[in-house]
Amino acid sequence: MMSIGLKFGWRLLTSRIGLAAILCAALWAWHVYDKAQAITAARDGYVLQVELAAAQAELAEMRRRAAVADEANRVLQEKVQVSEGEALRFAAELEAYESETEINPAGVVSDDLLRRLRSN
């Protein structure tokens, strides 16, 4: 029985119909493989595009944040310079006041100054 099946199978495979069936099966297998490869390549390309777009967006956000930080740093430096200038001006005023004002070395308030302070 087996030999009849093999004999019939061999005759079918070596005939024109058998060769056509083998050719169709081979073409179908190539088509399925090629389609799978095309889908994989398309998916990988899409993933790369999405990753590239995400990286570009992240880079743009980092640049924006760096620009904001630079601007904030510049404003802060200006405020520091203004406050240092005011501190120097106040120190000069205080030094001038100390040099112009006589201070009692004993730390005692005179009667005249005490009367003026009480009258206010």
**What is the model's pLDDT at position 99?**
83
Question: For residue 62, is it within any domain?
Answer: yes
User: Is residue 120 over pLDDT 90?
Assistant: no
Question: For residue 11, is it within any domain?
Answer: no
Q: Is 105 helix (H, G, I), strand (E, B) or coil?
A: coil
Per residue in 68-118, pLDDT (tens digit) is 999 999 999 999 999 999 999 999 998 888 788 777 667 777 788 888 888
User: What average pLDDT does range 3-27 have in this prediction?
Assistant: 79
29 or 108, which is more confident? 29
Q: Structurally, how many domains does the chain consist of? A: 1
In terms of residue numbers, what domain contains 66?
A: 27-101
* Identity of residue 68: V
Cα 48 to Cα 26: distance, rounded to the nearest angstrom: 33
Question: For residue 43, is it within any domain?
Answer: yes
